[in-house]
Structure 1
Amino acid sequence: MAFAQGAFGKLYKGTYKGEDVAIKLLERPENDPERAQLMEQQFAQEVMMLANLKHRNIVKFIGACRKPVVWCIVTEYAKGGSLRQFLMKRQNRSVPLKLAVKQALDVARGMVYVHGLGLIHRDLKSDNLLIFSDKSIKIADFGVARIEVQTEGMTPETGTYRWMAPEMIQHRPYNQKVDVYSFGIVLWELITGMLPFQNMTAVQAAFAVVNKGVRPVIPSDCLPVLSEIMTRCWDANPNVRPPFTEVVRMLENAEMEIMTTVRKARFRCCISQPMTTD
């Protein structure tokens, strides 16, 4: 039985050499040559990308099959499903802060690797971030990823509006910083547990982002360092957005700050307990 569905096919759980795997079965539209060509292009691209990406925060490629009837891509199986599914099960409750920062670091470290290879993911969102049994996150779905080139030739409107950088929505030239913008939205999701722009349609969200400079509302009790990361990541000016190497450093600082705060709280708790004698 399929456990997820995308634009061109469905995801199934299977077994390969005794291990659980995810099988993406692609349905080639027979009566739409243009759509069929796009699917073929994305299939070839995703297989090529995944076969060459090897990082602990990138979903592991196992194999692919391209026969006239069935096209499929096989990857490791994520027991926890996607980050979006995980957040929906929590019913808009935020992820514990320590875990949220750990998972954000997983995504940022994976993206340091992706960008280091000169690639752009172009569809970084919670649906494409998979949670494994140790609660770590791996990046998936490289069907629309591209090698960074002179962006006049890049496809506009690739990705999903709620996570899409304004320059992509406006069909302007873009670079790797579109992924940084999307990451800022994902970080907000982790911190709040909510769907971005949940009171708007995707098209309304895109209009608000581009024409009104609207961004998700950062909680008032958010750690300043996390607030700064989000604000800089989703800045309208791509040059203001930090590279993922800097995002990782900032998140590591946030992680240290959280650990220090927890230790201090535990210490205060210990010394406030009255001493007892026999």
Structure 2
Amino acid sequence: MVWWMIMIIIIIILIIIIIIIIIIIIMINYIIKRKEKKEQEKTTTIFKISQSNIKFISLGDGIITNKKEIEIGEGEEIEVNKEIRELICIGNEKKEKKKIQISSKEENEKYSIRTNPNIITIEGGYACEFEIFITIKCTTKIKEQIMIISKTLNKTQEEIIKSISIKGETQISTRLDPDEIKEEHKIGEGSFGIVYIGEFRGNQVAIKKMKQIDKDEDKMKEFEKEVMMLDKFRSEYIIHFYGAVFIPNKICMITEYAKYGSIQDLINKRTNTEIPNKIRIKFMIDGAKGISYLHSNGILHRDIKPDNFLVVSIDDNIGVNCKLTDFGSSRNINMMMTNMTFTKGIGTPKYMAPEVLNREHYKMASDIYSYSITMLQIITWEDPFPKTLYPHPWDTANTISTGKRPKIIQEVEEDIKEIIEKTWKQEPKERIRIEEVIRMLERIENKE
């Protein structure tokens, strides 16, 4: 057999192999498409327009729909952060097949949309029922346009965009719309972020902007837990929590604004003669009632100090003069599982209970001790641990953990001195409960 005959045989064999491969590829593609079509038919409703009793409206260019506006939740208020399902039928009046897809006009931070099917080919004279799943991420009203994108499957592959509107209003929630918050000016800064004064729905508010929190998953989860906890607090002795913004790069917390700042701010700015004894006792009662509310709900504050009591009024005969705030270091702890130990760097040494400084378990009695030092500072209008006597933080820590207490207590009137001494006992079990503190303070107030 000559060489050229061998070459012809090899070429014929190669051609046969290539043809077989092409046939296999075509068959595989056919099987995959058939399988996809069958799967799609299970979850998608495609029907002949002429055999349907649905009233269609023309959007032009062969695209028809059964509604030009989707009213989310059928006019009812929508639950925030919960996916709502709506249905819409879209049809193809033209002869040629069209690929059809529903999409929002642009990325919107306040809501998200997904559809089933995501994209589908509709033959001429047929329509498809689309499921639209909408999640609204904050308390807001929505009136937006969504696009119906169609592309012909001929040589021109002409793309046509039509639009329909969606509208809806959510229930009131603590997930706030950033557009409702008006920032005015900065009033403070801390390790957590920056605090601004601003306005929310006609109320003067404090806006606490969080630093880089959305880039840390653990911090974000902690923030969400804290917001859930704050949302449950409803007491006139706790600073009012309006809600929070969860939208990336806009994360913040909105609370009631106290125009006088904290008790610590008042001590720094005003003399003891400017704030009468009666008002100071009222501060102590209101503060104790705020702590009592937390304790009755199984919550430990863990950072009680004059900075965390905000003054809303310095007038006499007012229902509430000061409110408890800053639950950044609070933890919602089951009362049977209070096995949290003190970790270095949390809180302020001068207000820390001996057991906390000794790295023992933090319990309700630890909050009571912190309040004893706070009450001493409120009634004397002075720092219980002045730098002249306690130049370093460890001097304060050593004094407390060895059972010694600030000497300034000797200047306090006997009835208030008794309350403070009963709340700063070295042994946590010996300290009186916050309810007893309130009763004793109210007896003193009634004498004034």
TM-score bracket relative to the smaller structure: 0.7 to 0.9
**Residue in 1 that maps onto 2:211:** 27
**Residue in 2 that maps onto 1:144:** 329
Do residues 16 (structure 1) and 204 (structure 2) align?
no
1:193 alignment partner, one of 364, 381, 384: 381
TM-score by length of 2: 0.53
Identical aligned residues as a percent: 34
**Residue in 2 that maps onto 1:161:** 349
Larger helix percent: 1
**Residue in 2 that maps onto 1:262:** none
Inter-CA distance 196–94: structure 2 relative to 1 (3 Å threshold): farther
**Residue in 2 that maps onto 1:244:** 434
Do residues 170 (structure 1) and 358 (structure 2) align?
yes
Contact kept? 1:90, 1:193, Cα under 8 Å: no
What's the CA shift string for 1:196-218, capped at 9, x where partnerless? Answer: 312133333122211x3232224
**Residue in 2 that maps onto 1:275:** none
Aligned-partner residue type, residue 7 of structure 1: S
Identify which of structures 1 and 2 has the higher relative contact order when contacts are C-alpha pairs closer than 8 Å and 6+ apart.
1
What is the DSSP-based 3-state SS (H/G/I as helix, E as strand, rest coil) of the residue aligned with 2:245? Answer: strand
Larger Rg: 2
Aligned-pair CA distance for 1:19 = 1.5
What's the CA shift string for 1:209-256, capped at 9, x where partnerless? Answer: 11x323222444522121011111111111111111100011011112
Aligned-pair CA distance for 1:108 = 0.7
Aligned-pair CA distance for 1:17 = 1.4
What is the DSSP-based 3-state SS (H/G/I as helix, E as strand, rest coil) of the residue aligned with 1:181? Answer: helix
Aligned-pair CA distance for 1:46 = 2.9
Aligned-pair CA distance for 1:182 = 0.8
What is the DSSP-based 3-state SS (H/G/I as helix, E as strand, rest coil) of the residue aligned with 2:373? Answer: helix
Inter-CA distance 122–104: structure 2 relative to 1 (3 Å threshold): same
Do residues 234 (structure 1) and 424 (structure 2) align?
yes
**Residue in 1 that maps onto 2:444:** 254
What is the DSSP-based 3-state SS (H/G/I as helix, E as strand, rest coil) of the residue aligned with 1:235? Answer: coil
Aligned-pair CA distance for 1:142 = 0.8
Inter-CA distance 155–220: structure 2 relative to 1 (3 Å threshold): closer
CA RMSD, 1 decimal: 2.2
Contact kept? 2:313, 2:322, Cα under 8 Å: no
Aligned-pair CA distance for 1:23 = 0.4
What's the CA shift string for 1:29-81, capped at 9, x where partnerless? Answer: 79xx9xx5674355234312221111111000101012322320001100110
What is the DSSP-based 3-state SS (H/G/I as helix, E as strand, rest coil) of the residue aligned with 1:2? Answer: strand
Q: Could you list the structure 1 runs, at least 4 aligned residues long, displaced by more than 6 angstroms after superposition.
A: none
Worse-superposed segment, 199-208 or 83-92: 199-208
1:125 alignment partner, one of 300, 305, 313: 305
Aligned-partner residue type, residue 240 of structure 1: E
Total equivalences in the alignment: 253
Contact kept? 2:239, 2:325, Cα under 8 Å: yes
d(CA) in 1 for partners of 2:313 and 2:339? Answer: 41
d(CA) in 2 for partners of 1:132 and 1:53? Answer: 18
Alignment of 1:51-90 (within 5 A): 51-90=231-270
What's the CA shift string for 1:168-200, capped at 9, x where partnerless? Answer: 121101211111011101101111111231213
What's the CA shift string for 1:109-165, capped at 9, x where partnerless? Answer: 111111000110001111111000355000001111122342334553532211111
**Residue in 1 that maps onto 2:407:** 217
**Residue in 2 that maps onto 1:204:** 395
**Residue in 2 that maps onto 1:266:** none
